[in-house]
Structure 1
């Protein structure tokens, strides 16, 4: 192997004229192709010169597919922007050029790296490291709160990222000089897999897919891997074999483009007369239509909303899910958190197979290692040990602390990624670039047990707060203050100091031991010392989370009217007074509970359990003797439901807090949420209107 050549002084760099340097890059690219790796190159120096040289390089790569991030792309290049960030799965290019002179979008850089083919070039053009780390990064403007200006604000992300990069196996150039060469890996060992398989591991994956069809029903398979491991190809290969055996298959994915790889492999291996045996159907059509299949294949499942996956696995008895499980898509870790827990609960016979061996490039690919390590995408493998009797330590970390706490930052970001379904690389960048973010940790023996991410908001001057209240202004990075001023018509509250708990998470194996509550109690103490008026939080609401925050002293004050695309949950805003007025929070909470009752039809996806937890029924007078008699006649089967429904509603409004949980949820669904009898009757355990009416009669008979 060739050793690193990193020269400490500019005078000792290997200087080459521009064209010979380009020739050297082309030679390296050819060697990378033979070794089945991608070539990572960081080229620092003069802006105009590097743009010109890179254009010359691309001109010599005939028929190459070029992706370009940033300004000044060549005519034939595909210019990527933020909107492409999560549309890149399954997309490939020969060269990816990142023009960091116009900004460095960490999220897009991480996501696009997986597009580069083996033998391809990943080329970063940037200023000299010493000056670059002192410049503003306008590409991260969406990460900075008002009033910070991304064109002048100097964050810490570039400095941190460069410190990570210089520990990686990457070519570094400076204008016409070679500063560091690559440690070339050994040629990959030959795999013994037989055609059409790329690896023996892929062959095992296909066998597992086939077993889903021949084995027991209701035992779904989850095929997971990082990018480039051949999981989508495995779907296509297995589909071809099943089609030739006469099976009918359906393929779905976040988009038709995402399913391209699986379809191409299927069509390549089957006669055209069999192509109709595998049909792509959008997942929303699958749920609304009457589709039958011997097997449902779901590609890139982590990018599909979890509730949709739950419905699909219920509707189809034989399902294979394939997905990328890695943080740069911003979905994979949440897929583990949510959907796999659902499978554990409802489908205990489900199987999981993880593919490790890359196919599109070899195991020692330097670009993959560069991406994983510089964006902290490798999960923390160390098992956390908690000693109940040992001392606990609380610590606070600011933006500037992370430069000297890289190991702790890795632990924090890994835990945040594990615990929240939408953690992305931009969240790592925000930790380093946004000075209004702070992390509070709960540690023991230098081990991270839990952490919380706090956003400092508010302190908005009166005129601006009033403009927000009137709907004339919106401020980036002040979600809590914005909601208080606009949605809750409390512009005065936006003028005080506010802390919003953006995320809070405990190591999974340590949950339900009050560690999260202890962390919030410490945050409350810190907030008092910092003269904070109110603490707040906003999250996709579930009954469990709602109860957790309530137990910690927070009150619900607003519920968003649209559901999150990934979780299908409504966003709940909760508030707690610190130095602010507790009576104000009580007033807002009471008003919200009453308004929610009136507006329940706006929330069709809200569960009855959450409705009961959040809404308050209007004051109702006690039923008189004749009215109660009507209810009892219904319980005896002598009155139809439609005739006594209004009386049942009045009775329920008075007594819903005293009924058994399931009985209260049933009546809530019918009376408060106004779901019709037929809809409710379709759900287990009723499975019919007659059994549902018998259950209602029983509730009245036992409680009225």
Structure 2
């Protein structure tokens, strides 16, 4: 029976040039035997299995490593959903199945599956929660899609093959596909008139869309051009980029390729290698006899444009943050940005909205290309539609017209309970779509976490019945003494990001005791951004949870804009990572706000009692959270005094300024008389900075730390003077590079500027002795 069903599904898939799904639901061992029956019945040319088990006679992948299927084309993919059902692995498996192929799912009984807990669920059971606290809503919804979408056959497995029953045969009578591919319907590529790439480049194209894309890539041979290529998955954008990269390298060009990970760029290198006739599988550099090359670097490294490439190709650009993408906008080269419109690689609207504005406003001549024609299967493939719904790959916020003009005052704050999200597909799509739009890395696993993870909750602002802002929140901390001890001794505790960093990296065994609420993500609809919705949403979260937790926290890739946003929301800096995130290229900041406070400046008095504005604490701030902030703000201040000339020597000065201004631990300036003589002499007289760099460092920290909210301290320096203090005094950069970066006409002018910047610091922090010393130089 299973063999007959499989042959019928395969035959219809091939006729329509679509894909089909066969679900084998029941006992795992029986499912594996039945999968072999399917494979033997259809006799595929290529088969892969994704399973936690080993020893199959096909190509094997583990669920957590299913990204190895990216860029692969298989006739049959078997996904074993027993033991560890990873939503990301499903997305990757679907994407690897070719037109005319089958996706075979091995699953528990569908009626029982939502109640089954497996190793993926265990990853959602973050302390102090256990696996029994994890729900099965994601699987409940997933099973519903299996039973309702066309093209999906379901076999309920009995104890023996004779007891098997077919719940659905999965056949589609009115198959939407044409039964053709560009390779079989008589279409042949033609070289455009006046093309500069070789004819062989165009002969390698499989659709007219690809021809147009490769033609657009010809612009990369001339500096000052930018090409933007957008496509849904499976449309051949990476292949087109690879064909173009090979053609550019053959002409002697140095093409730098980057993507969130090399696997995302593997298709580019495969196609470029075909054009160049060189390179081993997996090679990250391809070189030609003409001196050209195609090379890969991770995003943060590539953004430095090492060795001055002629052209840059950024694949999956939407999966990278805007601030990193901006670093590629060097008019001395040409650049292409390729991005998936919908897909688990990342489909952040930051690229489409914020970055495109900056790209179009820059010096580049921009050419846009959109690829719509599927390459490996027919348009209208039912499996593509099913995967998009099951994994919300096409989730998007409400349309602009539905929310434009909404006001913060009229918005309603509400919880988004998982049961309501499960019951309301529109609500779920709009909320998850906002999270996808705002973040450069939202995956199907995140959908499962939203619906099932016991430590997560979601809150939203709704205007006119549409979601305009959403926050994903994670409960952290509140851990018992034994767990805290194990964490301190090096054991990783899932889902407790802030307590883990403060405990294991910053050596505070008490850090995981207070209860925290971390904002994992917060997103505002782009049609109403910068209108106060994000701040209003945070205010509501603080009010709702203020009595339930000890502190609020956030961790994110630090930019000046985000540091300002979170500082204004009352959050204060306790950590800045020493290394950059590989994908974002940013240093991660961790900020804390004690619960119960009002978010005013001077959040916590560092002496444990009096705030920087002279008030007691922070308007009733929770003492446990306040104590956590006091300890770690002071530790951050002390680390940065030396760390800025070491691990943080290359951090953007505006990021340093933002992080320090949001640190509420004031700096005590306690200089000796000799140090004051040197500082005053360098500021008002003929002295030199080099005579007392440590003294200048203390003054610089005092001027920058906690300056926000202290009008007198905040007004004594302008923006360039603050950057000068960071680059020269705190980061110890050479005078020449500081002068060039900050726009001083000479190193001498830069030196004079530092002396001038120190004058108001002497006035503000100087002792009586220092002020008397100053009089020697300013008296008439």
Q: TM-score range by the shorter chain?
A: 0.7 to 0.9
Where does 1:30-49 land on structure 2 (aligned, <5 Å)? 30-49=11-30
- Root-mean-square deviation (CA, aligned residues, Å) is 3.5
How far residue 684 of structure 1 moved from its aligned partner, in angstroms, is 6.4
Cα distance change on mapping 1:603 and 1:22 into 2, 3 Å: same
Q: Tell whether the 8 Å contact from 2:558 to 2:587 is kept in structure 1 after alignment.
A: yes
Q: Tell whether the 8 Å contact from 2:580 to 2:588 is kept in structure 1 after alignment.
A: yes
Q: Tell whether the 8 Å contact from 1:670 to 1:680 is kept in structure 2 after alignment.
A: yes
- State the match for 1:619 in structure 2: 669
- State the match for 1:665 in structure 2: 723
| 1:598 pairs with 2:612 | no
| 1:207 pairs with 2:205 | no
Separation in 2, partners of 1:130, 1:348:
56
Structure 2: where are the runs of 5+ without partners?
Answer: 158-163, 191-202, 279-286, 597-621, 661-665, 705-713, 760-780
How far residue 345 of structure 1 moved from its aligned partner, in angstroms, is 5.8
Q: 1:572 aligns with which of 579, 585, 589?
A: 589
- State the match for 2:228 in structure 1: 222
What's the TM-score, normalizing by structure 1?
Answer: 0.85
Residue range with higher mean Cα deviation, 413-422 or 300-309: 300-309
| 1:368 pairs with 2:384 | yes
Give secondary structure in 2 for the equivalent of 1:121. Answer: strand
Where does 1:11-26 land on structure 2 (aligned, <5 Å)? 17=1, 21-26=2-7
Cα distance change on mapping 1:305 and 1:76 into 2, 3 Å: farther
- State the match for 1:481 in structure 2: 499
How far residue 662 of structure 1 moved from its aligned partner, in angstroms, is 1.6
| 1:198 pairs with 2:206 | yes
Separation in 1, partners of 2:528, 2:736:
43
Residue range with higher mean Cα deviation, 368-377 or 380-389: 380-389
- State the match for 1:516 in structure 2: 534
Q: Tell whether the 8 Å contact from 2:408 to 2:533 is kept in structure 1 after alignment.
A: no
How far residue 119 of structure 1 moved from its aligned partner, in angstroms, is 1.4
Q: Deviations over 1:321-369 (max 9, x none)?
A: 3333434124655655775566356456433322122111111112211
Residue range with higher mean Cα deviation, 103-112 or 85-94: 85-94
Separation in 1, partners of 2:257, 2:539:
45
Separation in 1, partners of 2:317, 2:678:
57
| 1:118 pairs with 2:136 | no
| 1:429 pairs with 2:448 | yes
How far residue 98 of structure 1 moved from its aligned partner, in angstroms, is 1.2
- State the match for 1:314 in structure 2: 330
Q: Deviations over 1:424-454 (max 9, x none)?
A: 1111100111122110111112111111111
- State the match for 2:88 in structure 1: 107
Q: Deviations over 1:40-71 (max 9, x none)?
A: 22232343332212112223454632221224
| 1:555 pairs with 2:572 | yes
Cα distance change on mapping 1:72 and 1:502 into 2, 3 Å: closer
Residue range with higher mean Cα deviation, 393-402 or 314-323: 314-323
How far residue 680 of structure 1 moved from its aligned partner, in angstroms, is 3.0
How far residue 672 of structure 1 moved from its aligned partner, in angstroms, is 0.4
Q: 1:158 aligns with which of 120, 139, 146?
A: 139
Q: Tell whether the 8 Å contact from 1:67 to 1:95 is kept in structure 2 after alignment.
A: yes
Residue range with higher mean Cα deviation, 48-57 or 412-421: 48-57
- State the match for 1:178 in structure 2: 166
Separation in 2, partners of 1:311, 1:207:
25
Q: Deviations over 1:90-111 (max 9, x none)?
A: 1222211111222311111112
Residue range with higher mean Cα deviation, 260-269 or 496-505: 260-269
- State the match for 1:252 in structure 2: 257
Q: Tell whether the 8 Å contact from 1:144 to 1:433 is kept in structure 2 after alignment.
A: no
Residue range with higher mean Cα deviation, 80-89 or 307-316: 307-316
Q: Deviations over 1:240-270 (max 9, x none)?
A: 65567x4535252457665554455456567
Residue range with higher mean Cα deviation, 79-88 or 606-615: 79-88
Cα distance change on mapping 1:438 and 1:583 into 2, 3 Å: closer
| 1:441 pairs with 2:460 | yes
Cα distance change on mapping 1:684 and 1:327 into 2, 3 Å: farther
Separation in 1, partners of 2:239, 2:753:
55
Cα distance change on mapping 1:613 and 1:318 into 2, 3 Å: closer
Q: 1:525 aligns with which of 543, 564, 568?
A: 543
Cα distance change on mapping 1:322 and 1:403 into 2, 3 Å: closer
- State the match for 2:241 in structure 1: 235
- State the match for 2:654 in structure 1: 609
Separation in 2, partners of 1:148, 1:649:
46
Residue range with higher mean Cα deviation, 50-59 or 297-306: 297-306
How far residue 400 of structure 1 moved from its aligned partner, in angstroms, is 3.2
How far residue 701 of structure 1 moved from its aligned partner, in angstroms, is 4.8
Residue range with higher mean Cα deviation, 402-411 or 587-596: 587-596
Q: 2:428 aligns with which of 409, 416, 427?
A: 409
Q: Deviations over 1:401-439 (max 9, x none)?
A: 322132211111110011111221111100111122110
Separation in 2, partners of 1:275, 1:39:
45
How many residue pairs are counted as aligned between the two chains?
Answer: 673
Give secondary structure in 2 for the equivalent of 1:114. Answer: helix
Give secondary structure in 1 for the equivalent of 2:582. Answer: coil
| 1:456 pairs with 2:475 | yes
Q: Tell whether the 8 Å contact from 1:501 to 1:536 is kept in structure 2 after alignment.
A: yes
Residue range with higher mean Cα deviation, 373-382 or 273-282: 273-282
Structure 1: where are the runs of 5+ without partners?
Answer: 1-16
Separation in 1, partners of 2:529, 2:306:
41
Give secondary structure in 1 for the equivalent of 2:741. Answer: coil
Separation in 2, partners of 1:294, 1:153:
51
Q: 2:732 aligns with which of 674, 682, 686?
A: 674
Separation in 1, partners of 2:306, 2:468:
47
Cα distance change on mapping 1:445 and 1:85 into 2, 3 Å: same
Q: Deviations over 1:616-655 (max 9, x none)?
A: 6551559767854444566xxxx77756866765665565
Give secondary structure in 2 for the equivalent of 1:101. Answer: coil
How far residue 229 of structure 1 moved from its aligned partner, in angstroms, is 0.7
Separation in 2, partners of 1:603, 1:694:
26
Separation in 1, partners of 2:393, 2:239:
24
Give secondary structure in 2 for the equivalent of 1:512. Answer: coil
Separation in 2, partners of 1:116, 1:31:
15
Give secondary structure in 1 for the equivalent of 2:31. Answer: helix
Cα distance change on mapping 1:154 and 1:632 into 2, 3 Å: closer
